[in-house]
Structure 1
Amino acid sequence: MVETRIAPRHRVMKPAKIEYGGVKIACTVRDISITGAALEVTDQFGIPAQFTLSMPEDGLKLPCHIVWRREFRMGVAFD
């Protein structure tokens, strides 16, 4: 399989939060690069197309938008 992503992704298992409009939803960052990440969530209901990904362990708050969705996973690109 040929890698077609702009930047290589690195596998991680980091706790994070999806933040929007005062709402915070726990998630797990499964892989990450300088351009985006794959997130695992227990439920995608109500998660908007654009939000801030907060990674307190790394001191990061990254605005992003969803580029794909699966049942318990979503891919985001950083804005």
Structure 2
Amino acid sequence: MEEKRKHPRTDTEEPAFVSSGGSVMRCVVRNVSLEGAAIDVENPAFVPQRFRLVMANDSSIVHECQVAWIQKNRIGLTFIDLK
């Protein structure tokens, strides 16, 4: 299959949190690039369309995200540039 992403993704297995409106849910970041990421969650039905992705090992790393796609428990994210 031909790769269509502008930026290559780096595989990882980093714990993180989906944060929105005061609620927080654990997730695992499976891969990441400059423009987005893929995360695994227990129940994708509870993940809002837009949220903050906060890295568990370094809470200073926060990405504003929008859901791009969902396949079973994996969610593809696009990072939103709020400039």
Q: Give the match for residue 75 of structure 1.
A: 76
Q: TM-score, normalised by structure 1?
A: 0.94
Q: TM-score, normalised by structure 2?
A: 0.90
Displacement over 3 Å in runs of 4+: none
Provide, for residues 14-66 of structure 1, a one-character-per-residue CA deviation record: whole Å limited to 9, x for no partner: 00000001000000000000000000011112211000000032331110100
How many residue pairs were aligned?
Answer: 79
**AA of the residue aligned to 2:39:** L
Q: Give the match for residue 17 of structure 1.
A: 17
Q: Identity of paired residues, percent?
A: 34
Q: Give the match for residue 7 of structure 2.
A: 7
Structure 2 gaps of 5+ residues are none
Measured in 2, the distance between the counterparts of 1:37 and 1:26 equals: 15
Structure 1 gaps of 5+ residues are none
